[in-house]
Structure 1
Amino acid sequence: MPQSFSFVNFDGPNLVPDAQVRRRIRQQAMRDTAVARKQRGDYGKHNMRQYPVFISQADGSKVAKDIPDSNELQRIRQSIDLYVPFSLQDPRMPKEFSLLLNLMPLTGLRLGVGTLSHYLYEPTQPKDAIVTAQASSQRLLSFIPSRYGHVQLLRHATDSVIAKLQYLSQLEENRSPKGDLKALMHYQKALQALQEALLDEREWAKPETLCATQLLGIFEALNGNEKDSWMQHVGGAARLVEARGAHMFQSEFEKALFLSHIGPTVMSAFLSNTPCFLEQSQWQAVIREAVNEDATLSNDKEFVLALWGGLIELPRLFKDTTALLMAPCPPPQKVVDDLIERLLAKRKNLMIWLTLLRKNPIVKDGGLVDDENGVLIFSPDFDYKTLGPWCLTRIGLRGTYAVCRMVKSRLLYALSPEKFQHLENEAQDIARRILNLQDDMAAAKQSALIWNQFMAQGSWIAKGIVETKDIWGEKPHRDESMLEKWKFEKWNKVIGRKIS
């Protein structure tokens, strides 16, 4: 993956969150960005990915390093104010802040790769009234207004996303270059402020820094077709979460931030061929605590915890499979059989999860309809509002489930094509269903929201599975018990996953 946008060290995914790691993150924040630009050949050139000379520097307003004792009471009051979520109708909120409520990536129930929102799929359509963020998004967003006027980094990051949404909310023929330039100017100020914060001993671990990081990642996704740039940013954010340490997610704001980063953190590990640090017991405890305290998940907490438990293990399973398939010499059959047994056990757990979910519908008379593989079916008259407020959470969980099932089925087939041909067929069926779902539900009410919550998180995996169907189905040139290396490499290349 090109190092096209990096603000923390993306190498060394197994770093331990200690003082040495923190120094490394701070020291290499700027250096990694410079190296990436040199590799692309645009180092020192003026473009919208650098800080243009014609854009004014940040306003320079900074909080005093040493606060006099006479201001102690004011400091305490401000500190309390920063950690109390404001109502979304708070008068200090920027008047354009409501645009952020149309942005879905802050749910934390999405895998968050390939696309973050509906904007990347239909860029010519007006977006000002597409969706209203579900409760979990609003919970995180509610912490921003009280910090907006006090934290320069967060203000610039918020302004950049709002400006971008204002620009994208117009029909393409009505968009002015000035609107896009305004968004990019805010983005550059935010990026500079973020880089400074990461180099500051007192600022890099603050929750506002992590929140701004997420907002800038959203900006990257909204900004166009630079998926690699956005994924590099997500990888850096995951390293920042890890470096903060599990013990630093204590407040409501921090826990809301953590929940919103689970999906992107898992997929960062998934795409970089590394285990996910969230497997560790201290992070599992944070997940349980954050989910249990999140009132927006009150009806589905057990389902969320169970599904995320399987999701977090997926990067390690993929990594172990990659190691066997790419080994220079055929691995011992016992090692292969052990991995197959693990995958089958995880797949069985996923099937049990689906069975239990089906037995607990969100409404007594039914609710969501699915096919034999658990992929949702949306009728033209489907309206999530009639099913209650928890419908969107269920749709998001089903999207995550579909990704997990496709990947596990494909990994089993790769380890033993002859034994698991039926699972490759299953993966193809699920993938085609997901890719065809957009047309099937085009006439449904709130179709953009449904696509964003369910389909977007699985479409990139589904597309990669369909694109490599014929290649994986070719008869091997020689008798091999596992899938040929070049076929596995092709699939990983299509989905943007690093295997070396």
Structure 2
Amino acid sequence: MKDMGGVSTKEPEFQFVNSTIDNPVVPQDVATRALIRKQAMKKASAARKKSGSYGKHNLRQYPVFVDGPIPTTNPRPTSSSREGVFHKQQTSPELDHGCGTTIIDSAPSFQHAKSKSHLQPTPIELLGASVPASLPLTAFESMSMRYGINILDLSNLTTFHVSRATRKALATDPSQVINMLSYNQWSFFSYLSSSYETSPCVRSAVDCVVARVRQILSPSEPDLDSTVITHYVKALSTLQKALECQRQRYSPEVLYAIEILALYELLASSEPTAWIRHSAGAAHLIQLRGPRRYKTEFEKSLFMAHVGTITTEAMFNNEHCFLEQDNWKEVFESVIVDDDIISDRSEIVISLLMIKSKIPGICADATTAVCGDKPPEMSAVVDLASRAQQARDSLIKWRCDYEPLLGPLAELCKRNVDDDKKCKVMGVYLSCMMLANRLLSSVSAPKERLELENEIDAIADQVIDLYGRVAEIRPQSTLFLAQTIAIAKAMQATTPLWRDISPDGGIERWKFERFCEIIGRKC
């Protein structure tokens, strides 16, 4: 076809481009070939830029090479062993390019390289050297592997039965912690992994506890003593900095670190004052944070981990427990999970702990009434007796309500974990029942006092019998009853004093002080 000027033109047509280098019709000019490739990949390039994968490798699959045979065994070193076929990792100066690509120094020879100017690994060798065996370990996982300890197995030492008596029992025989490693329950340890990665004070506290457990399990291992002390000093220093910071001091992570350090003191062989001090610090911070700061599951776990200790320590310190106040009732109730039959979050446990929170205040007021410098007013005595009676009635009702679930006390101890849970619950109930009876007895008439003391003596006998059966069948569960057996023995030691009625019918001051001395509380 010719145009008006006589110049011959061709119709536009689509031509397939043969990119084979041997095809003579393909342009040989390098710039032209680059332009062709650029035009051919234009749409693909735009799509990759839009999806965010432009300039990246195909992350969905590894390339398959045919230069050599694919090895039948995995040539990569495992995390548990760096010895064997591949001994050492080093950075290749030819392959690094600032990215830290690693190759193995004992990989197969590169003598068959195609280039004669310098040695090059085959693609299959590069693949075997650069593909990681697994995802890198987190700091928490690395720490657990280093010590061979999974701190989550200590969750049963972060529950409501922990007390001074528990600490004393562990100090007498630290190896008892081995029996705790077979338990695992809901606790604040469920949230440890993420906090360990992000909170320096939590990390330092955890390192301290894990090193101590390792020391208990391997007492002859060298250098552990200094390691434990180093971690402890660092944990205290890190925690102190967090407490001095106004933005951090009320954060759940700081409370977390304090409670974890209290666990360390529970396992430490030092004097009990350190554990008491840390426990008091945790209780004070829980109170300062207020009931509105326990909304998340993590915060509820921190609250529940210390509830038992808060109430028990208030009783020992002759103080009212702040948890008896109405504004903390909502926190207790928010913890309850309906589908848990017997656990730290079950209704049976929470309702009992709410009753227990009232015992320290009754005990403190009874101490004032009996041991005060001035005789108490009759109205104060009547009010005290009414509160003690109400606590006793609440405990009796609690026992009746959950009798089908708990069963007879004589059949409590069996060879299963469910009965361990029942032991913890019944231990708290029996302790509270003996204390409520003793407090009511202290402000009752002689006849009622004798009846109450007979009941106390019968309960103490049941506790001693239960403790003996538990020690024989499931000795690890005796820790759950450590505080209960201590109270039972104190009751039996002082029951004769309460049965000895004075001329005026009241309890003499020295008798009450003797009871407080034996039980280990301030008076």
Using the size of structure 1 for normalisation, the TM-score is 0.69
Partners of 1:347 and 1:262 lie apart in 2 by 20
Partners of 1:224 and 1:299 lie apart in 2 by 28
Change beyond 3 A, Cα 1:225–1:486:
farther
The 8 Å contact of residues 412 and 422 in structure 2, kept in 1 or not, is answered as no
The 8 Å contact of residues 160 and 187 in structure 1, kept in 2 or not, is answered as yes
How far does residue 141 in structure 1 lie from its aligned partner after superposition? Answer: 0.8
The 8 Å contact of residues 161 and 216 in structure 1, kept in 2 or not, is answered as yes
Partners of 2:250 and 2:283 lie apart in 1 by 13
Give the partner amino acid of 1:142: S
Using the size of structure 2 for normalisation, the TM-score is 0.67
DSSP-derived class of the 1:328 partner: coil
Change beyond 3 A, Cα 1:421–1:314:
same
Partners of 2:176 and 2:326 lie apart in 1 by 45
Which residue of structure 1 aligns with residue 359 of structure 2? 314
Which residue of structure 1 aligns with residue 56 of structure 2? none
How far does residue 302 in structure 1 lie from its aligned partner after superposition? Answer: 2.7
Match 2:429 to one of 384, 394, 401: 401
Larger radius of gyration: 2
Partners of 2:139 and 2:251 lie apart in 1 by 25
What CA deviation, in whole Å up to 9, does each residue of 1:442-497 have, x standing for no partner? 331x421x2123x1232332233234344445554xx2332111111122223232
Match 1:167 to one of 203, 215, 219: 215
Give the partner amino acid of 1:451: T
The 8 Å contact of residues 156 and 180 in structure 2, kept in 1 or not, is answered as no
The 8 Å contact of residues 335 and 345 in structure 2, kept in 1 or not, is answered as no
Partners of 1:232 and 1:90 lie apart in 2 by 28
Taking the TM superposition and a 5 Å limit, the aligned residue runs for 1:274-423 are 274-292=319-337, 301-361=346-406, 368-371=407-410, 377-378=412-413, 382-385=414-417, 390-416=418-444, 418=446, 419-423=448-452
How far does residue 122 in structure 1 lie from its aligned partner after superposition? Answer: 2.7
The 8 Å contact of residues 321 and 360 in structure 2, kept in 1 or not, is answered as yes
Change beyond 3 A, Cα 1:398–1:167:
same
Taking the TM superposition and a 5 Å limit, the aligned residue runs for 1:96-495 are 96-107=148-159, 109-110=160-161, 112-116=163-167, 119-123=170-174, 125=175, 127-137=177-187, 140-170=188-218, 174-176=219-221, 178-224=223-269, 226-292=271-337, 301-361=346-406, 368-371=407-410, 377-378=412-413, 382-385=414-417, 390-416=418-444, 418=446, 419-435=448-464, 437-444=466-473, 446-448=474-476, 450-453=477-480, 455-474=481-500, 476=502, 479-495=503-519
The 8 Å contact of residues 303 and 357 in structure 1, kept in 2 or not, is answered as yes
Partners of 2:229 and 2:500 lie apart in 1 by 47
DSSP-derived class of the 1:144 partner: helix
How far does residue 342 in structure 1 lie from its aligned partner after superposition? Answer: 2.3
How far does residue 127 in structure 1 lie from its aligned partner after superposition? Answer: 4.2
Change beyond 3 A, Cα 1:213–1:296:
farther
How far does residue 103 in structure 1 lie from its aligned partner after superposition? Answer: 5.0
Aligned length: 383
Change beyond 3 A, Cα 1:206–1:294:
farther
Give the partner amino acid of 1:135: Q
What CA deviation, in whole Å up to 9, does each residue of 1:402-457 have, x standing for no partner? 1100101111222236121122232233334434544333331x421x2123x123
Give the partner amino acid of 1:487: K
What CA deviation, in whole Å up to 9, does each residue of 1:126-172 have, x standing for no partner? 743554234223xx2121111212211111111111111111124xx
Which residue of structure 2 aligns with residue 46 of structure 1? none
Give the partner amino acid of 1:241: I
> What RMSD in Å do the two structures reach over aligned CA positions?
2.9
The 8 Å contact of residues 274 and 316 in structure 1, kept in 2 or not, is answered as yes
The 8 Å contact of residues 453 and 499 in structure 2, kept in 1 or not, is answered as no
Runs (5+) with no aligned partner, structure 1: 1-87, 362-367
What CA deviation, in whole Å up to 9, does each residue of 1:371-427 have, x standing for no partner? 5xxxx753xxx2124xxxx54433221111011001011112222361211222322
How far does residue 351 in structure 1 lie from its aligned partner after superposition? Answer: 0.9
The 8 Å contact of residues 99 and 128 in structure 1, kept in 2 or not, is answered as no
Deviates more, 1:186-195 or 1:399-408: 186-195
The 8 Å contact of residues 171 and 267 in structure 2, kept in 1 or not, is answered as yes
Give the partner amino acid of 2:158: L
The 8 Å contact of residues 167 and 180 in structure 1, kept in 2 or not, is answered as yes
Give the partner amino acid of 1:328: D
DSSP-derived class of the 1:416 partner: coil
What CA deviation, in whole Å up to 9, does each residue of 1:216-256 have, x standing for no partner? 11111211262233222211211010111112222211111
Change beyond 3 A, Cα 1:295–1:197:
farther
Partners of 1:463 and 1:189 lie apart in 2 by 40
The 8 Å contact of residues 155 and 189 in structure 2, kept in 1 or not, is answered as no
The 8 Å contact of residues 111 and 266 in structure 1, kept in 2 or not, is answered as no
Change beyond 3 A, Cα 1:306–1:441:
closer
Partners of 1:342 and 1:272 lie apart in 2 by 20
Partners of 2:494 and 2:275 lie apart in 1 by 25
Give the partner amino acid of 2:439: L
Partners of 2:239 and 2:518 lie apart in 1 by 32
Give the partner amino acid of 2:431: V
Runs (5+) with no aligned partner, structure 2: 1-137
